[in-house]
Structure formats: C-alpha cells, structure tokens
Chains A and B, each alone.
Chain A
Amino acid sequence: MQKVEPFLLSGNLAIAYAIKQLNVDVVSAYPITPQTTIIEKISEYVAKGELKANFMLVESEHSAISACLSAAASGARVFTSSSSQGLLLMHEILFITSALRLPVVMVVANRSVSAPINIWNDHGDIMPQRDTGWIQFFVESAQEAYDKVIQAYRIAEDHQVRLPIMINMDGIVLSHTYEPVYPLSDSEVASFSPWNLSLKRLDPDDFLTIGGFCYPDYYFETRYQSSKALEDSLPIISKVDKEFGKLSGRSYGLVSPFKCNDADTILVSMGSISTTIRATVKKLREKGEKVGMVSLRLFRPFPLNELIKSIKNAKAIGIIDRALSPGAVAGPLFTDVTSALYLSKMSIPAVNFFVGLGGRDVKIEDIENMFVNLKKIPTGKIKKHSYYVGLRG
C-alpha cells in the first residue's frame, strides 16, 4: 500500500470527496442543516467539471428522493443526502425505493425532529425510517463515513443485493467537525466500486413495467422478497467490508466490540457517542473496572448473531437510545437488542439509557455514571429499566 497523506475534512466534505471519486451520475438533493455542505461541495465539483454529473436542484426532499429513485431505475449511479424534516418528507418514497430494489445511496446527517425545531444531533429522524427496507449504517468518524460511502455503492449495486443504503452520520458532531481523513486514490475507488449498467432498468430495448399494481394474490410475496433481500444482504455487507480492509487497512465489522470478553457490564450504542464510550471504557479499565462496550456499525439488517457474541458474557447491559419511541415498551435500539437476547434464550438484565436529544452533550462523566448504575443491577438494587440521562426537572 502506498503511503497517503491525510486530508483535513469534515464528515460532510469527506462524503462529497468520496462521491466525486465514485463518479456518481445523478445527484438530487435539497438544502437542510446539517447536511447542506455535502451538496454545496458536490455542486462545486460539478461546476468545476471535476465530477461529471447531473445535479438536479429540486424543490423538496420528496422530489429529491423521487428523482434519485427513477434515475437509479434508468441505470444511473445516484446520490442524495438529507436530515431531520427532510428525511421525514422522504419517508413515503423510502419504502418504494427498497421494494423496487433500487441502489440509491443516501447520507443522513442525523438531526432531531420538530417540534420544537432544533438543528442538533440525535437519532429522532432515522428511527422512524427503521422499517423502510433500507440497509442502514451508523458511522463514528469522518473517515468511516468516507469509507462507508465507497463500500455502499459496491453493496447496493451488487446484483444479489440491489437495495438502497442509508449512511447515518451524527449531524454537527461528525458532519461539521474536521479530522484527518485518509483517502483512497481515484483509481482504487474506481476499481473497488466499479459502475456497471444494470440489467433491469428502464430500457426501450428490453422494456419493463416498474411499480405496478398488486392484488392480494401477489402483494405479500413481493413485500416478503424485499424483506428477505435485506436479510440476505448481511454476508455480502460483511464480505465487502473485509475486502475494503485489505485495500485500505480499515475494516469496521458489523459490530465493533471493545473489551467485551471479560466485561461484567457492557454499553451498546450507535454513532459518534460510541467513541466517547470507548474512551470511558479505557479510562475505567485503567482503574480495574471490568467494563466493555459494543458499537453497532450496521443497524439494518440487524446483526443479531454478531451482537449476541459480543455481549453474551455480560452480567448487565446498558442500551443507549438517542431517540424516544413514545408509548412503546422501550427505546428503538433497546427493543431490538432485548429481542435479540430473547431469541438467543438469554436473560441478561438490561436497562435503557435515553441520552443526547437535540444535541445535548453526553460527557465521559455521564457514561461513567451509566456504568455505576449497571454495576448495581446484579445486586437487585435497580428497579427502573429506563433512565433519561441529564434530563432536568
């Protein structure tokens, strides 16, 4: 491997750079904080002729995703990005994109949802998209965002997968923070994620009807097939990540456990908060505390076996949600993880920590406190199953 100098890039700029290298054909997007600088940078690449693409400036996110869908159906490599209300406006079309098996790649700079209006990070925008049938990644750094975008096209366009992919990147925290990013060369990107003209597309020489009407006699099968395709994508996602590791030296896994083997207490999380938790685990380990953590890099399809393998020896688990699921049994990630435990016939006690809504800082001390609470669980002194960390009043 050639020695590469890092670029100093924000998460958003790292993504734009990857999109340029991926030689995307059609970009369609609408401005919304904190995603906007991605599309500003792509516009600049297109204007300078550094990226030969058709940049469709649409009148809404609904049209952005609709145009990406049909451009992908025409055989083009497409990209869009959004956040918060924009993602919610796309909601209807997200289901259709996956059911029509179209390889749209989207970056979501995760942001809270209104009301009240707030532009900072949490996972309130992405959680309502859980059941839309997209492959969903969560990244921890600008580097991982860059790497995942490159992997995403390879996965989405794989003929065995043919599904849209969302890359979730915490808004502001990752989208706007600059860090050293090691890029691949243009030719490495081109050979890792080559574009191929799709066989199933809107082609007058081999016409197809896409998006027709189904009576009850076929509807169930159709929906099942797209759901099954999502399940079946898991080994391919894993394979692409490993191959990417060989190329770049960076491989992420579906989940990344840290100090889990002998840990009594483990925190499960997604996104940038995982980096803070990892730092806390290091600090507590130095003090001899038997703590661990696991970060989910992939959220859909849910990496059940990989997650269970990393948490199975714990005496208590804390599951971190950065979104509320009002009226539900618990938070979205908690519900998934505890279902996974149940299906694996494990009854490890678990609590739900709701943190960081609307950009509220989560500090190392907050995470230390979570571990303190987790430690008390096996003693039977903890009665609550959910905590709202840092909530006043």
Chain B
Amino acid sequence: MPFKNLKEIIARQDFFSPGHGLCAGCGAAQIARIVMKIAGKDSIMVNATGCLEVSTTTYPWTAWKVPYIHVAFENAAAVASGIRAAYDALIMKKKLGKDVNVVVLAGDGGTADIGLQALSGAFERGDRITYICYDNEAYMNTGIQRSGATPYDAWTTTSPAGQKTLKKDLMGIAIAHRVKYAATATISYLLDAANKVEKALSISGPSFIHWLQPCTIGWRYDPKLTVKLSRLAVKTGLWPLYEHYDGINKLTVQVPKRTPVLEYLKLQGRFRHIMDNQEELAKIQSYADELAAKFGLGPVVE
C-alpha cells in the first residue's frame, strides 16, 4: 500500500541515527534516513566509498542500526549481488529462514563512473537489489571534482571553466538494461520518494532510484536551501520526477508551469560564472525545454 501522507512516513522507526559527520544541510543524510525508514530492520545496507560512507561509519562509531557493509568504490553493486546470492542460497538450502532487503546507497561517481560496470552486471543478471544513486553531481568526498554526472556549465575544481558536456543519462542506462523498475526522486517531494523506495523494494529483480542530492559545499549554497533547491530542480524541469515500470515511463509529479532555470542556477555558486552569460543560460534553458517535451511538463511561466 502506498503511503498517503508524510506523517505515516515520519512515524516510522529510524535505522539511520542522527549522530553522523555529514555536513549541515547535506541531502545524503536525509536520503539515508528516509530510505531506512521505508526499508526497515530486515535490510542490509551497502555503500560505495564516498561522503555517506566515511561520515557515518567512523570507527568505533556507526550511524547504522542495520547490518552495513562498505568494501570499495567501484563494486557496490557486486557487493550487493553477493549478499543477495548468499541469502538466496542459504534460504534455498534451509540454512537461514528470513530474507532481507539488499539496498545500495552510492554516489554519482560510484554509480555513473567507476561503478558503472558492476552496476551493469547486476542489472543484466537480474539480481534482486535496490540500488539508489544519491547524485550530488561531482566527486564531493574528495573535494568537488567533476564526474560523469556533473551538469553542463557547472564549476568544479577540475572543471574550473565549467563542465562542457551534459551529464550521463543514468535512468536511460538503467532502462536500457530492461530493469523492471527505475525512478527519479528528490527530498522535496518526500511522499513521492518514499513510495518509490517502497515500490523498488517490492520488485523481484533489480530496481534503481536516481536521487538528486544538493550538496551545500560543492554547489556553493546556504545550507538552509537544500530542500528549496531540490524543489526548484523539479519545477524548472531539470529533474523530472518519473518512474519506469514494466517498460512504461510515467511522470509522478506534474509540473504544469515551469520556473525558468535561472531561478535554480542563481542560488548556486557553481553557476556564478554564467550569471551574465545569456548564451550559456539559454543553452541550459533549452536543455530543460527538451526534458519538458520528453516528459510532458508545462510551459515556462516567468
């Protein structure tokens, strides 16, 4: 049964503790908290190397009240598949009785770049895992270097003049593997996100969620704006909220009137260098228009 309101979600028990070292305003902590509220006790959490991992598992402490494993950067999907294989085998052989959810939380570097091969393998094999990419659009843990998910024109320490290519279409990659369920999410539409996590966990094969995660440090904004930026990403059409189920794409949050991309970009220091560059701003607006046409969003209303 889908969640009907936020109260139902918030009332759920927490399996991700507040005592961690992530930044104030970090979207990843909020994602982890919600994912664990939905996934619940009988879940195993897998992380790729990244902010979430280093900030939540500093020995001798841990923020995780579920079994947790981190192995390396590029193999989160393979690690999750190994857990799935082990539980399936042990249950088949009656060595264990109770099944678990296997959930991955990995950043965009660990998903779109170095971890893409392992993820492709897990998708192709049809392994029953829920893989969630928290996408902050650069290598934030190492100090804001560009990744394959960095958006066009964004400043990072290794794209000082702005990224000159479009970000990889991770959803397209997942769908090309014929995964039964793939969805986009943000923390500003919590009910939508929570229901997507719930649905992803119920799928009998691999499921994928691409979750936009504003990063206060890397995007250069005031920590209080994390939720607002998440909302603006959706409102501008740059982050359409949709799900792909059994071969069909469906918009889950309607955007009848789009906000101009400038409203989203101007709050972020990483786009500061193009604020007076009408040509570049127009390119980003036209990219949002393309997405709007593809997903059936409304027109831009100034």
Contacts and interface: CB of A to CB of B under 8 A. Distances in A.
A60 interface: yes
B67 A204 contact: yes
A161 B144 CA distance: 41
Nearest to B95: A197
Interface in B104-149: 117-118, 120-121, 124-125
A202 B69 contact: yes
B75 interface: yes
B291 interface: no
Interface string B56-76: 011110101111111110110
A56 B82 CA distance: 8
A345 B71 CA distance: 42
A197 B90 CA distance: 10
Contacts of B81: 56, 58, 63, 67, 70
Interface stretch (A109-117, A207-215, A366-374, A375-383): A207-215
B121 A53 contact: no
Contacts of A202: 44, 67, 69, 83
Contact of B85 (A56, A59, A100): A56
Interface stretch (A73-81, A137-145, A310-318): A73-81
Nearest to B85: A54
B65 A70 contact: no
A204 B98 contact: yes
A68 B75 CA distance: 12
Interface string A204-227: 100111111111001000100000
Nearest to B65: A207
A66 interface: yes
A25 interface: yes
Nearest to A208: B67
A63 B65 contact: no
A219 to B, nearest CB: 9
Contact of B121 (A63, A203, A204, A215): A63
Contact of B88 (A54, A68, A72, A215): A54
Given A68-B82, A74-B86, A212 B118 contact: no
A211 B71 contact: yes
A54 B86 contact: yes
Given A71-B86, A213-B53, A52 B92 contact: yes
A28 interface: yes
A63 B75 contact: yes
A199 to B, nearest CB: 13
Interface in A201-258: 201-204, 207-215, 218, 222
Contacts of A215: 58-59
A186 to B, nearest CB: 15
A75 B79 contact: no
Best-surrounded residue of A67, A197, A218 (most CB of chain B within 10 A): A67
Contacts of A222: 59
A304 interface: no
Interface residues of A, number: 47
A207 B72 contact: no
A234 B44 CA distance: 34
B59 A214 contact: yes
B75 A54 contact: no
Choose among B86, B87, B93, B121 the residue with the greatest number of A CB atoms under 10 Å from its CB. B86
B53 to A, nearest CB: 7
Contacts, number: 163
Nearest to B74: A62
Nearest to B40: A204
A69 B44 contact: no
A96 interface: yes
A306 interface: no
B232 interface: no
Given A209-B64, A211-B69, A26 B58 contact: no
Contacts of B68: 207-210, 212
A25 B60 contact: no
Nearest to A59: B121
B70 to A, nearest CB: 4
B79 A28 contact: no
B43 interface: yes
A213 B141 CA distance: 13
Given A26-B85, A28-B85, A93-B72, A212 B59 contact: yes
Nearest to B69: A210
27 contacts: A26-B86, A52-B89, A54-B86, A57-B125, A58-B78, A58-B81, A59-B121, A63-B81, A64-B78, A66-B79, A70-B69, A70-B71, A72-B86, A73-B69, A73-B82, A74-B44, A74-B83, A74-B86, A92-B72, A203-B67, A204-B43, A207-B67, A208-B68, A210-B68, A211-B70, A211-B71, A213-B58
Given A25-B89, A100-B71, A214-B58, 14 more contacts: A28-B82, A54-B88, A59-B117, A59-B118, A60-B121, A64-B78, A66-B78, A74-B82, A197-B95, A202-B69, A207-B67, A208-B67, A213-B58, A218-B60
